[in-house]
């Protein structure tokens, strides 16, 4: 189902704003993304990009030791919290290794480094099973201990009458709005109960931690997805605004950045959302429909590398990227592409989604039976610079290529049909059009890059922080 029609069907009633738990969470918002993901993505038989593989005993030991180290560096070890004005909550998914051997978050580190010394703290969530130490930014803590306490503590949390009522009302609502999916309501009932228990503990932990701080603003990755709802609720109650910096592709059919009519009518639902969304540029702003202040800031990592680049000579290499959601389709595309590449003397590099690197050869067996190179560079922009053009599943990578003045094509498959929209500016190519690639490259419209990325991110970021400080001063 097209997202706009889905949201008008599911998120039209203001009743959703009145269904709250005993701790104050909006019950629908706790389960919103999972429910809509099931209806929009899983119904299209797309896959989960978070692949797993069997680890060796040594790998498990190394990762356990790394997790132990991160547990020791929990948010409570920072004793000068009263000096900290800005806390950045991020995941290690977008960390890359610098030339000096340190790991840097390609979104949050730039903003944290822009703050005055001592005013910024970064709290990282371990989402990949790899060590990302040492870190480039000096003040980094980890959520590992909080997560462990929440996992254990949730087993001892008893649902209150209000929680049980909230779960029952949400289940009844979903059954009424989506009667054709009998299993969905059952899944929601279990997931919502577990989420309430866990986030009740997380709220307790973060509320007491925030009490020790004097924060002006929290930056939270995936805030619009309702990441860390316990933290967001604690911040809302203590009057600390929350901002989400854009860290990936935002498109008109994106579940996390487009909301139904109820969110625009209900103040209670609006309060479940962050206060600010910091977009890469005006193109991405137009793909957002939510009652959140939307500010174009730019992409610091891209601006640094794209401006500093020197034009590379033709390499006779092309890069193919995946989303991890449609592996069979991409595997077939890669196999077909090898015939064109041999005829035109191109070498193919394949860059999987970061979350599927662990089992990439098992996920794309046909492709790796040929002459394809696996792109293992930590910094995506190094890979883009070294190729002549990029073909990939619909993602931010295709837009980033344009900043480097490299042609980019989207693979038209079931994933593209689910997430893209008819007015998208990235040219598409199907498996049947591979033989026409040479002609498509010659006619590529490079001027489409001009409206996508804002520049001068430092000035825009400074202005944003000043506006936040002024707003808080007026409110106090």
Structure tokens at 425: 């500016």
Q: How confident is the model at residue 153 (pLDDT cuts 50, 70, 90)?
A: very high
Q: How far apart are CA 305 and CA 383, in angstroms?
A: 12
Q: How far apart are CA 84 and CA 213, in angstroms?
A: 7
Top mean pLDDT of 181-185, 239-243, 363-367, 429-433 is at 239-243
Give the model confidence (pLDDT) of 269-300 as tens digits. Answer: 999 999 999 999 988 999 999 999 999 999 99
Q: Is the peptide bond before 133 cis (omega within 30 degrees of 0)?
A: no
Structure tokens at 33: 């993304």
Tell the burial category of 298 from Cβ atoms under 10 Å away from its Cβ (0-12, 13-18, 19+). Answer: buried
Q: Is the pLDDT of residue 450 over 70?
A: no
Q: Is residue 151 within 8 Å of 198, Cβ to Cβ?
A: yes
Q: How far apart are CA 376 and CA 363, in angstroms?
A: 16
- Which of 259-273, 334-348, 357-371, 455-469 is predicted with the least confidence, judged by mean pLDDT? 357-371
How many CB atoms lie under 10 A from the CB of residue 3?
Answer: 21
* pLDDT at residue 189, rounded to an integer: 94
* pLDDT at residue 279, rounded to an integer: 96
Q: How confident is the model at residue 58 (pLDDT cuts 50, 70, 90)?
A: confident
Q: How confident is the model at residue 183 (pLDDT cuts 50, 70, 90)?
A: confident
Q: Is residue 158 within 8 Å of 21, Cβ to Cβ?
A: no
Structure tokens at 448: 């489409």
Strand partners, 429: 411
Structure tokens at 227: 């990441």
State whether the Cα torsion 272-276-278-283 is positive or negative: positive
Percent of the chain whose pLDDT exceeds 90:
66
pTM of the predicted model, to two decimals? 0.92
How many CB atoms lie under 10 A from the CB of residue 457?
Answer: 23
| Structural domains of the chain sorted by starting position, each given as residue range(s) with its CATH number in brackets | 1-299+454-476 (no CATH), 305-449 (3.40.50.2000)
Burial call 217-244: b when 16+ CB within 10 Å, e when fewer: bbbbbbbbbbbbbbbbbbbbeeebbbbb
Q: How far apart are CA 318 and CA 22, in angstroms?
A: 54
Percent of the chain whose pLDDT exceeds 70:
95
Q: How confident is the model at residue 50 (pLDDT cuts 50, 70, 90)?
A: low
Sheet hosting strand 217-220, strand order edge to edge: 140-142, 120-125, 86-91, 217-220, 242-245, 276-279, 293-296
Give the model confidence (pLDDT) of 398-415 as tens digits. Answer: 999 988 989 999 999 988
Averaged pLDDT of the chain = 90
- Which of 50-54, 358-362, 386-390, 391-395 is predicted with the least confidence, judged by mean pLDDT? 50-54
| Nearest alpha-carbon partner for 409 in 427, 435, 424 | 427
Q: How confident is the model at residue 424 (pLDDT cuts 50, 70, 90)?
A: confident
State the average pLDDT over residues 250-262: 93
Q: Rounded to whole angstroms, what are the CA distances from 217 to 68, 109, 136, 189, 242?
A: 29, 15, 22, 34, 6
* pLDDT at residue 308, rounded to an integer: 62
Q: Is the pLDDT of residue 79 over 70?
A: no
Give the model confidence (pLDDT) of 347-386 as tens digits. Answer: 999 999 877 877 788 889 877 877 899 998 888 998 999 9
């Amino acid at each position: 189902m097209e997202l706009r029609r889905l949201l008008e069907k599911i998120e039209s009633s203001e009743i959703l704003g009145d269904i709250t738990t005993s701790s104050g969470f909006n019950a629908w918002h706790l389960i919103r993304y999972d429910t809509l993901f099931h209806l929009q993505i899983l119904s299209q038989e797309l896959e989960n990009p978070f692949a797993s593989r069997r680890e060796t005993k040594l790998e498990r030991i190394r990762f356990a030791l790394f997790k132990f180290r991160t547990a020791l560096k929990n948010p409570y070890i920072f004793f000068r919290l009263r000096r900290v004005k800005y806390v950045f909550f991020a995941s290690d998914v977008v960390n890359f290794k610098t030339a000096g051997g340190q790991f840097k978050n390609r979104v949050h580190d730039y903003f944290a480094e822009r703050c005055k010394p001592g005013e910024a703290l970064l709290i990282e969530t371990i989402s990949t099973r790899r060590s990302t130490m040492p870190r480039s930014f000096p003040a980094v803590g980890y959520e590992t201990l909080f997560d462990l306490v929440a996992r254990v503590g949730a087993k001892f949390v008893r649902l209150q009458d209000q929680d049980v009522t909230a779960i029952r009302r949400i289940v009844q609502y979903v059954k009424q709005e989506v009667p054709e999916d009998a299993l969905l309501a059952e899944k929601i009932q279990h997931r919502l109960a577990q989420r309430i228990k866990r986030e009740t503990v997380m709220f307790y932990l973060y509320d007491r931690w925030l009490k020790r701080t004097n924060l002006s603003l929290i930056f939270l990755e995936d805030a619009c997805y309702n990441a860390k709802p316990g933290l967001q609720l604690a911040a809302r109650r203590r009057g600390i605004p929350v901002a989400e910096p854009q860290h990936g592709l935002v498109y008109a059919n994106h579940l996390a950045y487009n909301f139904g009519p109820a969110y625009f009518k209900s103040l209670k639902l609006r309060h479940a959302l962050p206060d600010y969304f910091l977009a890469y540029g005006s193109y991405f702003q137009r793909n957002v429909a939510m009652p959140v202040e939307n500010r174009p800031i730019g992409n610091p990592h891209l601006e640094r590398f794209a401006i500093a680049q020197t034009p590379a000579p033709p390499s006779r290499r092309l890069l193919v990227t995946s989303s991890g959601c449609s592996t069979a389709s991409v595997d077939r595309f890669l196999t077909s592409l090898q015939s064109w590449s041999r005829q035109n003397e191109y070498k193919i590099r394949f860059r999987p989604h970061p979350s599927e690197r662990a089992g990439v050869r098992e996920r794309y067996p046909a492709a790796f039976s040929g002459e394809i190179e696996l792109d293992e560079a930590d910094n995506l922009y190094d890979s883009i610079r070294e190729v002549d053009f990029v073909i990939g599943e619909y993602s931010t990578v295709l837009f980033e290529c344009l900043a480097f003045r490299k042609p980019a094509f989207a693979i038209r498959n079931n994933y593209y049909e689910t997430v893209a929209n008819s007015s998208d500016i990235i040219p598409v190519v199907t498996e049947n059009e591979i033989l026409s690639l040479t002609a498509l490259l010659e006619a590529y419209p490079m001027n489409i890059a001009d409206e996508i990325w804002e520049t001068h991110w430092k000035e825009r970021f400074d202005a944003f922080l000043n506006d936040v400080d002024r707003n808080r001063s007026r409110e106090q």
